[in-house]
Chain A
């Protein structure tokens, strides 16, 4: 298992570090922001607010996700499933949009589960909630990107968890990737409590270059992704990195975040994270998250019933007659009963 920072945050291979101070501080800040946003999201879910019915946080994986995302080129095409908050935030997705989409206020993005929205300006594809659903499409996309023959080759990247590797489509994706010689990078998070390096071993067996790294070591993740993604890009063949992370124990200390602490300790020991900066980062994150949450909640209360576009737009590239008819039906009903407090009247639709 590749490791650059030990558990206490000491650099074990100094020459392996290529990340800049700014990059490392940004990994630290974004990982913290992701944890804080996920916690807030769970709180909203517990309060039963809006449409936040089912949220899967990325606790334990967020530092690896953030480090990996920052190690990629910005236009590498990302495919991901659930537990991907850190990926979107690291690419720069606005926190307001993140909450608004999760609460279903945003007509463009509230249709999928939180965290799966399409972010084309950040080269993130609309995600799927099914296990392994991102893997084979990423292979196909990578092949298509290679076919385009651009001067700056792009690759496709698939983030997934250990659950997806149980699905037959994981094996299918490995086979497909070698068959098509797709420039795709598979990024799997595994549980460091589980069998070590098994995912990487399966990839190697299938002919896919693989690495097994300490997922709680942000620097190891960053460096591995940066170097393997360049190989994938230049050689036009698939690669896989298995990142073993420590998931919080169910019922354990929710504040426990070993990956984050490890990076923080290193930054402090290097003098990059003085106490006042640390406090300032925490305050800013708190402020941003609360602001974004409140803005989304307010938006939600103002829109008790979504406009018809939320329901009927974008089923097909142009509306069919039956959809237009149903849309009209919806709007007629809204005009008649929209202001009604009587829940029975609403049930008539």
Chain B
């Protein structure tokens, strides 16, 4: 018996294997990369090498041994510096932190030493490493463990910053991050680790058009993507066709995809999990203002976290939700 599905050729961008959650997709990507290249090794504190706080490295040390899944002291500075030194010596380390916020105490190493290595060495040294950062809120982890980090890291020259917007793209993104000769920060929204989706291919520095529409461009990344998807569906019921762009790459920004969508629709809303002030949404808006002002039919609106620290109890009020996105969409459409 054949089903409809059998009669359609598989979308080359879609992995037809059963849906799995983001932690599993990342684990699969790590495993594949380690099998393909023995220069790849995983670093982290004991939690991260024994399965990981969110389960993305479970079983890895059993498969590859403690030399390639290497436990480091519980000191993010030492962990980052170790990765840098290993990259100097020709390896491709993947470092996992418990919480993305842990990187804040090691920003000098990340920004001064790792991100600029290729540049200041005139291209003679490079630091092909991946820094996996569980980012953002959504699990009630409180203000010290819920930072979005796109803003903190997204403006650092020499550092690629990539955000998983879905379980679907996580495997593809981590594989490409490991293959990249640049240091790559992979932002893994904590709220998405248990999201399930069939894998699809995403490119490391290319935004994805997740849904096409002519009325308004909705820009999102990371944890804001599922919220934006919901808004796309609600808007469709009102007859508003939204074009949904998952930025994927925070640095560098895929300006061409952003601008070509905006030029088509003339209207834009940016959804950002972290607080509004000084965020990446401001950068997206500035790019549009610099390069596509003549296409704007209405103000660009940002729906973002409040300009407050994240409160554990108020977390769901802090993070943008579909209602807030829809309100902005309607304001921009009705302008």
Residues of A within 8 A of B (CB): 77, 79, 106-109, 111-112, 116-120, 125-126, 128, 130, 133, 135-145, 147-148, 156, 168-169, 172-173, 175-176, 179-180, 313-317, 320-323
Contact = CB atoms under 8 A, between A and B. Distances in A.
B154 interface: no
A120 B113 CA distance: 17
B123 A176 contact: no
B122 A118 contact: yes
A116 B122 CA distance: 12
B122 A315 contact: no
Nearest to A145: B89
B261 to A, nearest CB: 15
Nearest to B252: A320
B121 A118 contact: yes
A133 B113 contact: yes
Contact of B82 (A79, A126, A140, A321): A140
Interface stretch (B3-11, B70-78, B130-138): B70-78
A106 B121 CA distance: 11
Contacts of B75: 172, 175-176
Interface string B154-195: 000110100000000000000000001110000000000000
A78 to B, nearest CB: 11
B2 interface: no
Contact of B85 (A106, A116, A138, A179): A138
Given A169-B81, A323-B252, A147 B182 contact: no
Contacts of B157: 315
A179 B158 contact: no
B73 A316 contact: no
A147 B108 CA distance: 27
B113 A128 contact: yes
A137 B81 contact: yes
B303 interface: no
A316 B78 contact: no
Contacts of B124: 108, 118-120, 126
B84 A140 contact: yes
Given A136-B78, A317-B180, A147 B123 contact: no
B126 A317 contact: yes
Given A144-B91, A314-B122, A156 B252 contact: no
A175 B88 CA distance: 20
Given A133-B109, A145-B89, A314-B119, A125 B81 contact: no
Interface string B259-294: 000000000000000000000000000000000000
A144 B125 CA distance: 16
A125 B88 contact: yes
Given A140-B85, A175-B73, 20 more contacts: A79-B88, A108-B123, A111-B119, A118-B120, A118-B122, A118-B125, A126-B117, A128-B112, A130-B112, A133-B112, A136-B82, A140-B88, A143-B86, A145-B89, A156-B85, A176-B72, A315-B157, A316-B158, A321-B255, A321-B256
A209 B250 CA distance: 45
